[in-house]
Structure 1
Amino acid sequence: MTRLHAVTDLDSVLADPARHDALVVVAHDLPAVAHPLISRAFATASAVDAQAAHAISLVPSADAPGGRVILAPTGPVLRDHDDVRRYTEAAQAGVRRARDAGARAPLVVLAPPPADDRHRNAARVAALAAIGGLWEPLEAREALGASAEPVASIGFSVLDGAFGEADAAWVEAVDAGMRLARDLAGTDPERMAPPKFAQYCVDAFRETSVNVSVNSDQDALRRDYPLLSAVARASLEVERHRPCVVRLEYAPQGTVERTLLFAGKGLTYDTGGADLKTDGHMAGMSRDKGGAAAVAGFVLAVARLGLTGVKVIAELGVVRNSIGPDSFVADEIIRSHAGVRVRIGNTDAEGRLVLADLLSHLREDALQATAPRLFSVATLTGHANRAVGPYNIALDNGPARTAGVAESLSKQGDQWGDPFEVSRLRREDYDFVAPRSRADDLLSCNNLPSSATPRGHQFPMAFLAIASGLDRHGTDASQPLAFTHIDIGGSGVEGGDWQHGRPSARPVVAMLAALT
């Protein structure tokens, strides 16, 4: 794991050639950077490359650490459509270029960003991108050892001095959470099969105050998580694929002012079940555990930061949707933990079944909690990607909308380079999942892909509200409960490439900023 330290006296560090072996400069206006070493490096580059102010370049420099300067321009940052992600992209590209050039301890220098509200967090965003951009998959680290991630440390400095040790400590804590999320989401379906996923969580939280419990008793799961157990039914023949529920509880020092309760979808592999994914669409489905991974990463970051005032309870449904003689099938009617009779419409709409039982248990916790807010986080629908591309989606129920939860996620997501689109739950979504006969109370799904279904990312929240019993806690109830559903079907992996894209660890940062 790469370490990060703040550099507050840049010139003295530059004078010590043993401290670092490359200088990475991140700037929105390279010609205007006044530092003499950087100015000379830019002059050298621009003399031979007309694109030096706009494209990443490596410049030999006898005065620089390791004899090299990497210029990493952000490009324009003040147009209407620009945001702080320009700093994310430039910092990642610069540090990766330094690594590929042989650097093992680069120094990243950020030119002060414009005095614009969009870039108020640019220093922490860039530092988080620099260290996180060096993550390599767990399989690579286990096979190759230290050579998989050769950069041992990064120094980080802002030319105006606005980055100190407290900033570096925050970045390292948040990166630890994002790293856990990437490991859980991105690792292959055997290395991160349900029992191993659970053990990885146990190990990750061992040195924290978070209480971790793992429920892998199949009789208890069938009784208390009947929808989840139906999804897992065909996996029971293989011991290493059997499901579990991982529960994480963080209690702060001092008074609890609010309680955050999370359900995370942890499909370690999704074959589609009896409604089998065909035509190559199964590849990448080991990443269908991205919601549970993000929730685990969020909890770890909260614990590493030692946040006060906020209690966090999370349940992760860790399941493999296998195909086999005992697969659950469409047309079955299964009673949820909340007592709702669910008719299965499509076995490839399995994530909402897992989440519904988790939410029902968390609903019971919430009724006894201080200022509770409930969330589900999932790579739930292809429609999310079709509708908004690489953005997180947040949908509120009535009490959450009154509290402005989704709007807060959107606002803070913009500030931290982890953007959200706000969607709305409508009456048509409830109509879509309404029962067609008295034999059942609720329909899980239609039999088309979500991406081919109008309101394909919205109506699943209506299902979640009813199947979990949360529909009984709307604004008209005696005990309203705020519930926000977060779909990361389009944002869980970079570039939308579920098979080969890097896990994004989203929306860990936005949730930290908006909810804590």
Structure 2
Amino acid sequence: MSFPVALPSNELFNNDADAIVVITHDINHLGNSTLDEVAAPYIAVDARIAQKTTLLVSEQVPGKRLVIAPTGPVDRDYDDVRRFFEAAKAGVLEAKAAGAVKPLLVVANAPSDSRYENALAVSFLGACQGLWQPLEAREYRGEEIEPISSIYLFSATEQTCQQLTAISAGQYAARDLCGTEPERMAPPRFADYCVELFKDSAVNVEVVADRKTIDEQYPLLSTVARASYAVERHHPRVVKMAYEPEGEVERTLIFVGKGLVYDTGGADLKVGGFMAGMSRDKGGAASVVGFMEAVAKYQPKGVKVIAYLAVVRNSIGSDCFVPDEIIAGREGVRVRIGNTDAEGRLAMGDLLSEAKDLALGEKNPELFTVATLTGHAARAMGPYSAYVENGPARAAKVSRQIADLGDLWADCAEVSRSRREDYDFIQPRTLADDVLSSNNAASAVTARGHQFPMAFLAIVGGLDKHGCNAEQPLPYVHMDIAGSGVEGGDWQHGKPTAATVASLFARYCI
């Protein structure tokens, strides 16, 4: 893992860095006259420098390496700070390939536009995204496959570095958990990672492993886990985490994360190659852990954070659950199974019910579910997270505030509304049940395919009784990161992005 190191503005050349990486939209102005002089002869003869990341060699810069990482245009209406994130990622990988282990990041001539106020911080996070290697790779080949342990940030403040240390640590943990193959991060080992991660930290961890307890308290999760009980190493876990700040609590955040360590689809088996990559279906829980790790590192005042993780494998076998079954959840709501590949909402439902009960006694609570839930979110929103909120959350602009900050931290999202059609869609068809979990078509070809699952979660979690007109309204946001959770939408090979970690931290911790 790489740590940020603040470098004063008068020490650009007086340090032990072994490469300077300049991120800029104008290659003719690199933020320093010496750097401009070094680059000018190359720029004069090679037009490609303005188009792609380039390594220049010069005795005048630390390590003799100058990397110019152009962002491309930044002044159009649709440009955003991800230009710097992506350029820094490419730049630091170029420096690494050249042998650098202590690069120095310089953001030159960032526009004064508020969109780019965090350009340097986001550049560091982009570099970290590029440098991360999977947990199994580090365990197999050794930690030296991540040779860059520190990155100098030119003109950064110590406070900025403290914040970035927390965010990057959280994102690192989220990538580890999401990007790991299904045996290395089977439910018991996922729980073990969390226990070890938060050992001697400000976050307390409790793991529920007893099958009887899970069957009785979380019957919907237990239903998803049924076929996995045939294999002991695949048995489910419920992981509970809590952070209590020093001093008065002003706000309470309660998260439920989907931790499907592998999703075969169950009886509605994924076929035609669509099962590949389903070890990343734990990305929601992974991001929740990442946010908790950022909180543990930064220890913000005034905000209490609680998280419940449904860590389970949706296996195929003689005891797997099937469509048409009716299962009574923790709230007493009778759920008719529409499709066993819509398992994430079942796994989280009873935990959300418990979270709702807890929220009723907390100070200014806000509830969230975070999940790689639907193909529709990826189809409708592309590489952006999809936030679907209930009435109280919409009235308080919960999603809008997180999304607006996410735009400034390269952690972008689109805000969706929950509407009456979503609740109509899951209404029971008989008197034998109270709610339908899903239809039997793929979400990507279902109208409002990423919105109606939030309505289901609200009902099975009991949040439908805590809307705007209730005696105690509870703001609730469902965060679907199926489109944003991995790079390029490649769920089998793309690096996990730790979606939501930076924007949640920016909203509630800074």
TM-score above 0.5, yes or no: yes
SS in 2 for 1:175: helix
Residue 25 of structure 1 corresponds to: 22
- The answer to whether the 8 Å contact 1:4/1:131 transfers is no
Counterpart in 2 of 1:438? 431
Worse-matched range after superposition: 120-129 or 501-510: 120-129
State how far apart, in whole Å, the 2-side matches of 1:46 and 1:454 are.
51
SS of 2:455's equivalent? Answer: helix
The residue number in structure 2 matching 1:342 is 335
Aligned identity (percent) is 56
Equivalent position of 2:229 in the other structure: 236
Which amino acid letter does the alignment assign opposite residue 35 of structure 2? I
Other-structure match for 1:6: 6
Equivalent residue, structure 1, for 2:129: 132
Match of 2:72 in 1: 75
- Which segment drifts farther, 113-122 or 181-190? 113-122
Which residue pairs with 2:280 in the alignment? 287
Instruction: Answer whether contact 1:214 1:244 (CA < 8 A) is retained.
Output: yes
Cα drift, residue 132 of structure 1 = 3.4
Cα separation, 2, equivalents of 1:453 and 1:345? 13
Aligned partner of 1:320 in structure 2 is: 313
CA contact (8 A) 1:274 1:327 kept: yes
Range 67-76 or range 45-54, more displaced: 45-54
Partner AA of 2:8 in structure 1: T
Return the alpha-carbon distance in structure 1 between the equivalents of residues 217 and 456 of structure 2.
19
Aligned equivalents of 1:34 and 1:243: distance in 2?
Answer: 54
Which aligned pairs between 1:465-504 and structure 2 lie closer than 5 A? Answer: 465-504=458-497
- CA deviations on 1:144-198 (whole Å, 9 max, x unpaired) are 11221111221110xxx3x112211211111000000000000000000000000
SS of equivalent to 1:277: coil
The residue that corresponds to 1:393 in the other structure is 386
The answer to whether 1:97 aligns with 2:90 is no
Tell me if structure 2 keeps the 8 A contact 1:372–1:482: yes
Question: What whole-Å deviation, never above 9, does each CA across 1:82-136 have from its counterpart, x for those lacking one?
Answer: 0010010011110010001111111111114111111111121112222332111
Tell me if structure 1 keeps the 8 A contact 2:180–2:279.
Answer: yes
Q: Distance in 2 between matches of 1:51 and 1:37?
A: 21
121-130 or 2-11: which moved more? Answer: 2-11
CA distance in 1, matches of 2:21, 2:470: 56
Which digits, 9 at most, give the CA deviation of each residue in 1:249-307, with x for residues without a partner? 00000000010000000000000000000000000000000000000100110121110
AA aligned to 2:13 is L
Tell me, yes or no, if structure 1 residue 449 matches structure 2 residue 452: no
Q: 1:489 is paired with a residue of what secondary structure? A: coil
Residue 322 of structure 2: aligned partner: 329
* Aligned-pair CA distance for 1:73: 1.1
CA contact (8 A) 1:131 1:154 kept: no
Match of 2:291? 298
Note the 1:148-163 alignment, pairs <5 A. 148-157=145-154, 161=155, 163=156
Q: Determine if contact 2:263/2:281 at 8 Å carries over to the other structure.
A: yes
> Which of 265, 290, 308 is the matching residue for 2:258?
265
Q: Deviations over 1:370-421 (max 9, x none)?
A: 1111000000000001001000111110111110011112211111111110
Q: Distance in 2 between matches of 1:378 and 1:9?
A: 42
Whole-angstrom CA distance in 1 between matches of 2:424 and 2:224:
24
- In 1, distance between residues paired with 2:379 and 2:107? 35
Kept in 1: contact 2:264–2:316 (CA 8 A)? yes
The answer as to 2:424 corresponding to 1:422 is no
1:218 aligns with 2:211: yes
**Stretches of structure 1 lacking an aligned partner (at least 5 in a row):** none
Aligned to 2:44: 47
1:39 partner letter: D
- Partners of 1:361 and 1:5 lie apart in 2 by 42
What does residue 118 of structure 1 align with?
A: 115
Q: How much does 1:479 deviate?
A: 1.4
8 Å Cα contact 2:205-2:239 kept in structure 1 = yes
Instruction: Work out the number of aligned pairs and report it.
Output: 509
What is the TM-score with the length of structure 2 in the denominator?
0.98
* Residue 193 (structure 1) aligns with: 186
Contact 2:106–2:120 (CA under 8 A) maintained in structure 1: no
Alpha carbons 1:20, 1:105 under 8 Å: kept: yes
- Counterpart amino acid of 1:194? P
C-alpha contact 1:273 1:347 (8 A) present in aligned 2: yes
Letter in 2 for 1:37: T
Cα distance, 1:475 vs. partner?
Answer: 1.1
Q: Call closer, same or farther: CA 1:438–1:34 in 2, change over 3 Å.
A: closer
Q: Give the residue type in structure 1 aligned to 2:33.
A: P
> What's the CA shift string for 1:348-381, capped at 9, x where partnerless?
0000001111100100100111111100000000
Give the AA of the match of 1:379.
Answer: T
Report the counterpart of residue 397 of structure 2 in structure 1: 404
User: Which among 196, 206, 217 is matched to residue 203 of structure 1?
Assistant: 196
Give the Å deviation of 1:34.
4.6
Which residue identity does 2:269 align to in structure 1?
A: L
Structure 2 letter corresponding to 1:8: P
Q: TM-score, normalised by structure 1?
A: 0.97
Structure 2 letter corresponding to 1:2: S
Q: Residue 51 of structure 1 aligns to a residue in which SS?
A: helix
Alpha-carbon distance in structure 2 between the residues aligned to 1:10 and 1:353: 56
- Contact 2:170–2:293 (8 Å) recurs in 1: yes
